[in-house]
A = this chain, B = another copy of it.
């Protein structure tokens, strides 16, 4: 049975990074993964850009009354060179006219006057003030973005600024989700005795959707070989197949056999993790991956955060594939009888001004999905640690 770190390494060794690229308009790029570096096709600012409404001046002229030779609004370009004793009335966003070396804001003048009239400059302004020099932020040809990052607002704005619309992004992987089990009924059905509502396929669906990938639900395979075989064969046409249930040692667990028949080579059977020990990971030709996750809903969610999300992120083309981890101080005692597995318990992380505390939740084990609605992180209890008392400092994986 592999350690968590070993299992993560095995998975990482097999997942191939993204290669397929497509182009998308920047208005549809939010949440997508940038496929490669982006260079600027212009200097930024593209000219000496005025940052205050006022008058473009020769700073050495100093205070006084000077003839306004031109008016340059934003979007226009001055035709005249400013010479000593003259000024150009100018607006924020316009290019600094030739000859001028500063802009004095209108508040430090007698106000705006028309071209041909005299503007009153009330204060001395320093050379270089109130405009941004051409190329100050970015020079033409500079790499402004590197591949493998999620495109969010700052990236969209940068892409717009450097003219990268449409932009090249990685094709998103396809993900299929399958539940297995005779006991499962749909959420809108009332469970009969012995039945329970299936939640795993919906939580997996939501977890994948939050990564910007819209998964396909393959429904529920009942506990018979033919149905499990057929559904798993269907799953093989997706980059990732996530199978919930059917992977423990039970006599009706047809999943391992069906995976083998479909051509998946199983690389991982079990991991020393709680919850989620019977984790299966397999690989088929053509960059197809399968994860078999235990049927208990909290197990499925934890396994997803620890193992499946980083795998999908790598295949999405992301450079950073792990959730953020922070250290946190446990606020209530945690004890367990056995320390053979690395355990992850749902906690509520709270920022306390000088660090995080991890509050324990009313949590009854891996079937207790409701407890997860109060959690925003998983606290790691290392192997061999059977007692972590209030004040213990551990590592937490933030999942929201």
Contacts and interface: CB of A to CB of B under 8 A. Distances in A.
Interface of A: 26-27, 29-31, 41-42, 44-47, 49, 51, 53, 72-77, 91-95, 106, 112, 132, 136-138, 144-145, 149, 151-165, 181-184, 186-191, 193-200, 202-207, 209-210, 217, 223, 248-252, 295, 297, 301, 304, 324-327, 351, 353-355, 364-365, 367-373, 375, 400
A199 to B, nearest CB: 4
A203 B132 contact: no
B154 A372 contact: yes
Contacts of A250: 53, 91-92
B73 A252 contact: yes
How many copies make up the complex?
A: 2
A187 B199 contact: no
Contacts of A207: 153
Name the residue in A30, A47, A325 with the highest tally of chain B Cβ atoms < 10 Å from its Cβ.
Answer: A30
Given A156-B203, A157-B369, A354-B355, 7 more contacts: A26-B187, A26-B202, A41-B190, A74-B223, A144-B373, A158-B199, A327-B354
Given A46-B191, A93-B295, A145-B373, A153 B210 contact: yes
A158 B373 contact: yes
Nearest to A138: B370
A24 to B, nearest CB: 13
Given A206-B156, A326-B351, A355-B354, A163 B137 contact: no
A53 B245 CA distance: 13
Across chains A and B, which 7 residue pairs bring their CB atoms closest together, nearest first? A75-B182, A75-B183, A154-B372, A157-B203, A165-B187, A153-B206, A160-B199
Contacts of A41: 190
Nearest to A201: B160
Given A91-B250, A160-B197, A194-B77, A27 B181 contact: no
A26 B248 CA distance: 28
Contact of A152 (B76, B149, B210, B371): B210
Contacts of A157: 199-200, 202-203, 206, 297, 301, 369, 372
B42 A183 contact: no
Nearest to A326: B351
A228 to B, nearest CB: 14
A367 B252 contact: no
Name the residue in A27, A154, A186 with the highest tally of chain B Cβ atoms < 10 Å from its Cβ.
Answer: A154
